[in-house]
Amino acid sequence: MLNVIYEDNHIIVVEKPCNIPSQADKTGDEDMLTLIKAYIKEKYNKPGEVFLGLVHRLDRPVGGVMVFARTSKAASRLSESIRIKDFSKKYLAVVEGKFENKTGTLEDYLFKDEALNKSRVVSKDKKGAKLARLTYEVLEEHENTSLVKINLETGRHHQIRVQFANSGHPLVGDQKYGKSNPGVQIALWAYELEFKHPTKDEIMKFNVYPKKVGAWKTFEY
């Protein structure tokens, strides 16, 4: 069941569940782009192909709030907002260990290995290396895990997962960059989006929080 948070003629904001791809991939599994197109087609009795612009993505295992463009004008303007960093994405994560500094900045250069679909921290001199930067704040600690709020300043491939693993605090449930705990859901959630509406002089802000299951259930938010 699609959880639509907001919609108008230009945008649609939804909650992406964990483990559903943002767009169709080689698995052929159900994806958000296809689900939302079907929803629009049925709700508004649209003939022919429905336009829907994917302007940002979430990794398949990650859930949270996403915005899609319903017109080409909206897609272009939202993409430009992202390019000039006038589009705020904030995340919650449960990570391994406790932090000496309760607030901080992680800044690294990342290289994406296309063959392995993984990124790694490299020297800034490596060909293809891209600057990755985020800020974080520890909200709460429980035993040997920490709940952190993350402000993503750049949008690199697997950025949050790679940078926290590299800092010695891999995300709980991260099968690719953390401890191998088969069946444990990754504790990373896109909880806030803030951006200027593509056609109105209005700042839009949306918050969706993860359900209190798995690694999340021991924390307050």
Provide the residue type at 130 as one letter.
K
Residue-wise DSSP of 54-86:
E-----TT-EEEEEEESSHHHHHHHHHHHHTT-
How far is the CA of 96 from the CAs of 26, 123, 170, 209, 211, in angstroms?
32, 25, 6, 20, 20
Cβ atoms of 15 and 195 closer than 8 Å: no
Beta bridge partners of 189: 63, 92
Which candidate in 8, 25, 31, 59 is catalytic? 59
Is 59 assigned a catalytic role?
A: yes
- Residues with a catalytic annotation lie at 59
